[in-house]
Amino acid sequence: MASSDAASNALPATLRASGSLVAPVLVAYRGVPSVDTILPIVSTAAMAVPKVTTMRKHLVGRKAVTAPHIRDVFYQHKADAPAYKLIARCLDVGPNQTASQAFGTWIWEASFISFKRGQHPGLIPEECEQIRLDVTRYRIQNNGVVGARQLALFRHLFVEGFRSLDPSATVYGGQHDWRPEWWPNPAPPVAQ
């Protein structure tokens, strides 16, 4: 389903095509609206983003030392959360640290919310389910988003997951495409 100019103008400004890495992405798809549909897509996208090694400082006793950290994307589902029940975070996991311990020290966070049918009449067909990816946290350093490559790839894989369920899925909002030159020299795999 391609979006028309008239339909795009009916969208809130934040969902109009922008290419922004931190703008929301709304996906309208035909399928089953359940955690059983959404969770595997988010899980697959998170696991498909390559792990890379970054050098960061951490405390050893009272002294800050530089050590390799593994930058990776993890997700968490909380059925009892008041708003976003599913989130994905990019983390730098330090030596002797688990992902659970590092979960509070995010690089960026993407949160997901589903909408009931009929939330966007005249724009999204009544039979389509809707899910929105919001970048709810991110860090800026040296005039750019920290972990931008990982975020761009994750957003792209998220959208492609829904397109694999429904090839006619419609996508509105920020960046969701991918160009190989954004990550020209893939890092070698990190040893587990």
**Is residue 93 one of the residues assigned to a domain?**
yes
Question: pLDDT of 173-182, one tens digit each?
Answer: 888 888 888 8
Residue 188: inside a domain: no
Q: Is 8 domain-assigned?
A: no
pLDDT at 11 over 70: no
Asked if residue 183 is part of any domain, the answer here is: no
Tally of domains within the chain: 1
- The answer to whether residue 113 sits within a structural domain is yes
Residue 6's pLDDT band, with cuts at 50, 70 and 90, is very low
**123-175 tens-digit pLDDT:** 788 888 889 999 999 999 999 999 999 999 999 999 999 999 899 998 988 88
Residue 184 is assigned to a structural domain of this protein: no
- Report yes or no on 191 lying in a domain: no
Most confident region among 15-24, 109-118, 160-169 by mean pLDDT: 160-169
The per-residue pLDDT for 58 is 76
Residue 126 gets the label, from left (phi > 0), alpha (psi -120 to 50) or beta, of alpha
User: Cα–Cα–Cα angle for 38, 44, 49, nearest 5°?
Assistant: 130
Please say whether the beta carbons of 1 and 170 come within 8 A: yes
Domain containing 144 equals 17-177
Top pLDDT among 149 and 186 is at 149
Res 87 pLDDT > 80: yes
Mean pLDDT calculated for residue range 67-83: 89
Q: Is residue 190 part of a domain?
A: no
